[in-house]
Structure 1
Amino acid sequence: MNILVAIDLSSASEKILDKAKTLALALPAKVCLLHVVEEDPDFLDEELNPQDTNNQGQQKFPQEHNGLQQEVEKLRKSGADTKGLLAQGTVVDVILQKSKQLNTDIIIIGTHGHGGVHHMIFGSVSEGVLRSTSCPVLVIPTHNRK
């Protein structure tokens, strides 16, 4: 089974990764952690390789690259077959594109639970993915509402 986990490297990612780890170890499954950065015409998508210190993502987006690599290593240490992918573009479009390219069986994504005005202005990544994919999607609430 192939699992695509979209993370934004915020504190909310911890909840998403916890559920992804549980699912990956129970099935077992291959996990791809995906982080999307804003569009940059000079940046090409890349799979993370810790031995490659000259890769483009590490040079152009060192904070994102290092954060993603740390999360990949945490999941690997727990026993999950994990790789990282740093990509560029519109978040929803990239998630949909990568899920097809990777033959994803399930997408795991979080929702921040922002209010109606924020949603009206900025939209929702999780909603955009849900509306446009035929792949099952597991949406993890990452907010602390009561």
Structure 2
Amino acid sequence: MLPHFQHILFASDLSDVCRHAMGYAFSLAQAYNARLTVLHTLPDLAVELSQRAVLDPASLIGPGSSLGSNLDWLDREQQIATTDVEAQLQQLCQEMQAEAAADLSQQLEILVKAGDPVETILDCAHDGEFDCIVVGSHGQGMVSRLLVGSVAEGVIRSSRIPVLVAPVHEDEPE
């Protein structure tokens, strides 16, 4: 039986490579009349902060306060970053739909999640009912022939569903 894609996951990093790879995701969605979910992973600011500063979260608690009240600013920053990325993805999706001369808005979902990119993409892919993951990859010389890219490679190695990797090489127009 030939595969039929009903729901495609596109992993975005908002780079030029992302735009190139998104064309493949939109093309597949249009060809198969499939739903398309665009996922962008942001760093988890609390994890980043604690790793960079080597902080013990308990040390952030002052006398008579809780950890939650001292870290409210971090939640606000994470929400601001999420809102900004959602707006950028909306704009990119509108541009892609205009290029494709197709309205996929009824079949399009945008997700922004915090966490490790590979883990987040795989968790989303395996928890949802996706038939395919589309990712972009830089293609910049001999090293890239050996390594697809850290995120793309991690997704390929651990995915239980097909992964389409759209490479961009230095000599190709993006």
Report how many aligned residue pairs link the two structures: 131
Q: 1:108 aligned to 2:129?
A: no
Equivalent residue in structure 2 for 1:63, among 84, 93, 96: 84
Change (3 A) 1:69 1:56: farther
After TM superposition, give the deviation of residue 143 of structure 1 in Å.
2.9
Secondary structure in structure 2 of the residue aligned to 1:12: helix
Secondary structure in structure 2 of the residue aligned to 1:112: strand
After TM superposition, give the deviation of residue 104 of structure 1 in Å.
0.9
Structure 2 counterpart of 1:29: 34
How high is the TM-score relative to the length of structure 2?
Answer: 0.65
Q: Is the 8 A contact 1:76 1:82 kept in 2?
A: no
Matches within 5 A, 1:73-112: 73-74=94-95, 78-80=102-104, 81-112=107-138
Structure 1 counterpart of 2:44: 39
Change (3 A) 1:39 1:57: closer
After TM superposition, give the deviation of residue 62 of structure 1 in Å.
4.1
Letter in 2 for 1:111: S
Letter in 1 for 2:41: V
After TM superposition, give the deviation of residue 58 of structure 1 in Å.
5.5
Task: Determine what percentage of the aligned residue pairs are the same residue.
Answer: 32
Equivalent residue in structure 2 for 1:7, among 12, 35, 38: 12
Q: Is the 8 A contact 1:36 1:87 kept in 2?
A: yes
Q: CA RMSD in A?
A: 2.7
Letter in 2 for 1:28: N
5+ residue gaps, structure 2 = 1-5, 48-75
Q: Is the 8 A contact 2:8 2:134 kept in 1?
A: yes
Q: Is the 8 A contact 1:111 1:142 kept in 2?
A: yes
Q: 1:136 aligned to 2:162?
A: yes
Change (3 A) 1:60 1:93: same
Cα distance in structure 2, aligned partners of 1:41 and 1:73: 32
Deviation sequence 1:93-144 (CA, Å, 0-9, x none): 0000000122110000010125639x88xx6111100100110000000233
Cα distance in structure 2, aligned partners of 1:13 and 1:23: 15
Change (3 A) 1:142 1:32: same
Cα distance in structure 1, aligned partners of 2:157 and 2:169: 22
